[in-house]
């Protein structure tokens, strides 16, 4: 930990997901969308969304501990719980077709009122397949969710992901290489408690909103491995 590291730097360091990277077989690189990945790419790394959500599992249950240094150089550990604020997933036609086949062959479950595919009311589609328009670089829309509940009415991020995953199996099976550059999510972080307790520091009441890309396309082309 650097001595010139700010409290914001510490927060970002402690709440940035670190996901296991996998190398896509060269035989599969040619099947990627050329608008998302250069045809001359020699290697492409990706991660599974299921591994990505694993990073938030413990944080959702116990909070992410962040060292906070006060103006008097007192160090405390503030814990923040992540909540899903918004998510948009755009995928390829082949991945979407596979997901549709899985959905049609399985039990879709009971219908419920949710925030997907709507801005108000509860009348729009929840299955993520009724609005599929090919938009070139954007891809095919699979899931959109925008949280509208007040902060104290929300459930931790993993609880929401599990809820959405019951109707959108792709949240567990999709890979980052299946997603277009337009795929992203926003996470709201709220403080819950700090150790030691009973300290009055203004930074301890700060909330944060972080944004995360869900696509591998920003990594660009990699040189051949030596």
Q: Which residues pair with 179 in a beta bridge?
A: 91
Q: Where does the pLDDT of residue 109 fall: very low under 50, low under 70, confident under 90, or very high at 90 and above?
A: very low
Q: What is the DSSP string of 11-35?
A: HHHHHS-----EEPPHHHHTTS-TT
Q: Where does the pLDDT of residue 42 fall: very low under 50, low under 70, confident under 90, or very high at 90 and above?
A: confident
The closest of 81, 60, 84, 83 to 191, measured between CA atoms, is 81
pLDDT, tens digit, 9 for 90 and up, residues 144-155: 999 999 888 999
pLDDT, tens digit, 9 for 90 and up, residues 161-197: 999 999 999 999 999 999 999 999 999 999 998 888 7
Q: Do residues 66 and 14 make contact, with C-beta atoms less than 8 angstroms apart?
A: yes
């Amino acid at each position: 930990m650097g001595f010139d590291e700010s409290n914001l730097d510490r927060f970002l360091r402690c709440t940035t997901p670190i996901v296991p990277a996998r190398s896509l077989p060269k035989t599969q690189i040619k099947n990627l969308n050329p608008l998302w990945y250069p045809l001359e790419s020699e290697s492409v790394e990706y991660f599974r969304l299921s591994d990505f959500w694993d990073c938030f599992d413990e944080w959702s249950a116990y909070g992410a501990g962040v060292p906070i240094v006060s103006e008097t150089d007192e160090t405390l550990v503030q814990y923040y719980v992540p909540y899903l604020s918004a998510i948009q997933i755009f995928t390829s036609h082949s991945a979407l077709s596979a997901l549709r086949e899985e959905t049609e062959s399985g039990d879709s479950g009971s219908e419920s009122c949710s925030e997907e595919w709507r801005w108000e009311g509860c009348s729009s589609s929840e299955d993520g397949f009724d609005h599929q328009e090919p938009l070139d670089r954007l891809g095919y829309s699979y899931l959109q969710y925008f949280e509208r509940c007040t902060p104290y009415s929300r459930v931790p991020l993993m609880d929401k992901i599990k809820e959405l995953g019951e109707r959108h199996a792709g949240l567990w099976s999709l890979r980052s290489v299946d997603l277009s550059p337009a795929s992203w999510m926003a996470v709201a972080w709220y403080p819950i408690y700090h150790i030691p307790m009973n300290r009055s520091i203004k930074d301890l009441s700060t909330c944060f909103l972080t944004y995360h890309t869900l696509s591998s396309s920003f990594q660009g082309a990699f040189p051949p491995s030596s």
